[in-house]
Amino acid sequence: MFHNTAQHDTTDPEDLTARELYAQCQKIGLLALKSRRQFIGLLPLVERRQAYLGRGLYSTYDFAAKLGGISRDIVTEVLRLDRQLKDFSLVRKLLYRGSIGWSKIRMVTAWLTVENQKEWIEKLENISNQALALYLRDFTAQQYRRLQGSIVDTESESIQHNQPFGQLTQQSYMLQSSIIEKSGKNEAESFGAEIPEYNRESSSCQIPGQIISKGNEQPTNYSSLSKFDQLAYERETFTFSLNRKIAAKMRLFRQKLEKDRKELITWEEVMVEFLHHIEKKEEPDIQKTNVQKINLQKSKTEEEMPTSRHIPALVRRIVLRQYDGLCAFNDCAAPAEIFHHTRRFSLTDHLSKAETHDPNFIKPLCKPHERIVHNTLIENEEVDPVHWKLLVSPNRQSEKYAVDQVVIGYRKPK
């Protein structure tokens, strides 16, 4: 049993240490998963060529169950996926070879075209299932916000010109239809098919694959909701009235925020932004103060020493406090797991320690979003992550792309 896979061919498994046992089970488990993925990937060919006939088997379902222990539901999904990939030969080969799992390929079928399949293959090979799901969700939400921003701008313009409400609604509808139609003919063609539903007052943004239940029931995918949606299940009610002048100022403040963000926002988000402005006035700029402390503490010896990848604890605290210990990516409520150098460490290792580990260029990210960033899929990485824009394909001419390819190669299992 252990002859081909065990590290010690003649060693009794009972004599293995806990570390050796874990390593051996991990190796065998990876081989088992790979073999299962390859077996499932070949099922469409078994169906097409009826390889089960004459062997005491009566269908592909029978073949999959007896030879691989694969359920009927999985067989049905794989055969359906194979039909969807009939025009995408390159992606289809990945399925047959078992290079990529069928469930991961299924995630991108709605966005595949004959022209962009090579770009999607790169993402399928380099991005994990979880990171790919977040990328698709965030890109869809980004396209939706862009659409909403265009509609808000058009409505504001119409109000300024005193257009009647009925005409305004019709114009917004025509704009929305034209944008969706155009999105099928440009780089966003593969992302324009599914637009999430958005409710202005409840701030519930429903993404494909994420179901938000009604009433007091918890959502089925609580962890993937935005920060504001998660807080919606742990809240208090404040009821108060305002005089007309203050109410008018609050509405103007909300309109200004919507214009700046180019998207519709809720009153809760307005209050969060309002409190943020107050806290900014009350507290000194902690980040700048701490950076100055770091600069003052530098010694000549430290300047001469080679820069280490280790981020000083003080810088870590500054970065984590700025984002409340959460992933800095927009609408991500996951805990921060990785400190990411937006300028890439290898491109700044010639600088001093304080300059290399400048808090302004270090962002806390969850693991899936860090993987997305290291696939060079962020258009404007130099700004705050709240305003990051996802790319359909990476910029292969940038220095960061070359660095990221090295990182991807290092992370791939040997």
Q: What is the mean pLDDT of the chain?
A: 74
- pTM for the model: 0.59
Residue 152: predicted pLDDT: 58
pLDDT at residue 94 greater than cutoff 90: yes
Task: Break the chain into its structural domains and give their ranges.
Answer: 13-125, 127-195, 236-283, 296-411
Element (H, E) at 194: none
| Average pLDDT, integer, range 387-393 | 88
Element of type H or E holding 312: none
pLDDT digits (tens, 9 = 90+) for 274-308: 877 776 655 444 444 444 444 444 444 444 444 56
DSSP letter string over 121-183? HHHHHHS-HHHHHHHHHHHHHHHHHHHHHHHHHHHHHHHHTT--HHHHHHHHHHHHHHHHHHH
Query: Token digits for 71?
Result: 């359920």
